[in-house]
Chain A
Amino acid sequence: MNVQEYISSGIVESYVLGLASVEERREFEHMCAQHPEVLQARIGFELALEKQAMENTVVPPVSVKEKLMLMIQQDAPAGQSKVITMQNSGTSRKSGMLRYAAAASVILLLGAAYFAYTFYDKNKKLNKSMESMSQSVESMQKKVDQMEEYVKMITDPNVSVVNLAPTTPAKASASIYWDSTTTDVYMVVKNLPKLPSDKQYQLWSIINGQDGSLQPNSMGLFDMSDDHKIILKMPKVQKADAFAITIEKRGNTGGPDLKQVQTFGKTGL
């Protein structure tokens, strides 16, 4: 894009009206510094906009200015504030009194600061404990939800259960709950030992082929690292003669490693 195209791309208007993104602004400021034409275009639009706004004024009520002038008089900025010098014309006795008063006020101030700090500290602690409480409530709620889901599932007459029995000494076992009306599949883990981080479990649904061969379909890889996952919702499946769980390489995309079948069960349907 050459400079002319850049100028007529709408960026000038977008920048001036405050609609440009942070990157667009940065780029535009850079372009203004590099190309006088861009700067001229910006000033041109600013003047047009200003003229347009000046021709379309709405007069605000007088009270706004009055309040405003009062406000800015009280709003002297730091470093420029008017200094009021205190006249120290009192006797030494008075200044002694003043010293007591000053000491008393310092003590009061310290006291107030102490209380403020204690309250602040208490408040912070309370907030913290509330936070951790709400976290534990949340995780408990999650567990309750899982349990409820589980109870609903095992009591539903449309749901059939397939128990997967261990096929290795590791004694892996799980149950598959299969809802015949919704074809939803839930897996409840009974015993699946944790795996090294490069391995994952994989659930397969298996259909008996007409030629007697087994046709496995992956229903997903999963980890057993998280103890909370007693129940996992798996992809829906229309038809299955059996389910099996294997141990596979993390992220396996191929077929099942039949030597690694951990647990297996027929649907009996």
Chain B
Amino acid sequence: MNSKTTYSEQELVNLLQQRSEQAFGYLYDNYSGSLYGVVTSIITDKETANDVLQNVFVNIWRKIESYDPSKGRLFTWMLNIARNAAIDEIRSKGYRDSQKNQPLTENVDTMAEKSASVPMYNDVGLKKVLSRLKGELRVLIDLSYFQGFTHEEISKALNIPLGTVKTRIRTALIQLRTMID
């Protein structure tokens, strides 16, 4: 395992685009942990999270041709694939059905209540950072980033004007950034 060389991002992308399975194994070994961290911050069920992680890497393998380095780093691209896959999963009917304690009618309102009331002591990564945001900003980031609600949906559900939702999410993001740096 240690015999493998390290690749630069550019080399890695080139090799993946040439369908190198070895490069894919390297990619997995290097990034599965951080992407799994993102997936599990959105999906608590372990089995489902495993399936989603698998889909994430299958998608990376299949879509590597469409990765455009001018729009962002490889990790950013993969991070967004992971987040989108996890959100698609929690918003799918199958997933909601499997969450027996959550009624199907659950919507952004009840989500908001939960986000506001449930402390996030056990969270890792971005979610841990998120728990340091103050109440309302935390709810907004949780709803938009971790639950994938659009600004419009949030505006309606919380009865806050759309413009205000946008500026507050921006404010929250700026604060998040200073916490990460």
A69:B72 contact, CB within 8 angstroms:
no
B177:A13 contact, CB within 8 angstroms:
yes
B129:A52 contact, CB within 8 angstroms:
yes
Considering the complex, give the chain B residue whose CB is closest to the CB of A59.
B33
A53:B54 contact, CB within 8 angstroms:
no
Point out the residue from B62, B73, B145, B151 that lies within 8 Å of A17, measured CB to CB.
Answer: B145
A68:B54 contact, CB within 8 angstroms:
yes
Q: Which residues of B contact A253 (CB under 8 A)?
A: none
Complex Cα spacing A169 to B108, Å: 60
A75:B37 contact, CB within 8 angstroms:
no
Any chain B CB within 8 A of the CB of A80?
yes
Any chain A CB within 8 A of the CB of B61?
yes
Any chain A CB within 8 A of the CB of B53?
yes
Complex Cα spacing A48 to B125, Å: 12
B174:A8 contact, CB within 8 angstroms:
yes
A10:B21 contact, CB within 8 angstroms:
no
Interface centre among B24, B34, B38, B50 (most CB of A within 10 A): B34
Known: A10-B170, A49-B180, A80-B19. A60 touches B53 (CB 8 A): yes
B62:A53 contact, CB within 8 angstroms:
no
Known: A53-B125, A60-B53, A64-B50. A10 touches B180 (CB 8 A): no
Known: A17-B145, A19-B144, A68-B28. A58 touches B181 (CB 8 A): no
Q: Which residues of B contact A37 (CB under 8 A)?
A: none
Count A-B contacts at CB 8 Å.
Answer: 121
Known: A58-B37, A60-B32, A68-B54. A77 touches B62 (CB 8 A): yes
A61:B50 contact, CB within 8 angstroms:
yes
Considering the complex, give the chain B residue whose CB is closest to the CB of A73.
B21
Q: Is the interface of B mostly helix, strand, loop or mixed?
A: helix
Q: How large is the interface on A (under 10, 10 to 19, 20 to 34, 35 or more residues)?
A: 35 or more
Interface centre among A45, A67, A68 (most CB of B within 10 A): A68
Which of B74-82, B88-96, B98-106, B110-118 sits within the interface?
B74-82
Any chain B CB within 8 A of the CB of A83?
no
Considering the complex, give the chain B residue whose CB is closest to the CB of A44.
B181
B170:A14 contact, CB within 8 angstroms:
yes
Any chain B CB within 8 A of the CB of A93?
no
Any chain B CB within 8 A of the CB of A91?
no
Smallest CB separation, B178 vs chain A (Å): 10
Q: How large is the interface on B (under 10, 10 to 19, 20 to 34, 35 or more residues)?
A: 35 or more
Complex Cα spacing A59 to B129, Å: 20
Q: Which residues of A contact B181 (CB under 8 A)?
A: 48
Q: Which residues of A contact B62 (CB under 8 A)?
A: 75, 77
A56:B36 contact, CB within 8 angstroms:
no
B73:A50 contact, CB within 8 angstroms:
yes
Taking CB atoms and an 8 Å cut-off, the chain B residues in 129-144 that contact chain A are 129, 144
Smallest CB separation, A64 vs chain B (Å): 5
Considering the complex, give the chain A residue whose CB is closest to the CB of B174.
A10
Known: A60-B36, A60-B50, A64-B53. A49 touches B76 (CB 8 A): yes
Smallest CB separation, A199 vs chain B (Å): 40
B80:A64 contact, CB within 8 angstroms:
no
Q: Can you report 28 A-B residue pairs in the complex whose CB atoms are below 8 A from each other?
A: A10-B170, A11-B170, A13-B173, A13-B174, A16-B76, A17-B80, A18-B83, A19-B144, A19-B145, A29-B71, A32-B70, A47-B73, A50-B34, A53-B34, A53-B79, A53-B125, A58-B36, A58-B40, A60-B33, A60-B36, A63-B50, A64-B50, A64-B54, A68-B57, A68-B58, A69-B24, A72-B24, A72-B61
| Chain A residues close to B by CB (< 8 Å) | 8-14, 16-19, 21, 29, 32, 42-43, 45-50, 52-54, 56-61, 63-65, 67-69, 71-73, 75-77, 80
In the A-B complex, the 4 residue pairs with the closest CB atoms? A57-B33, A10-B170, A56-B125, A13-B173
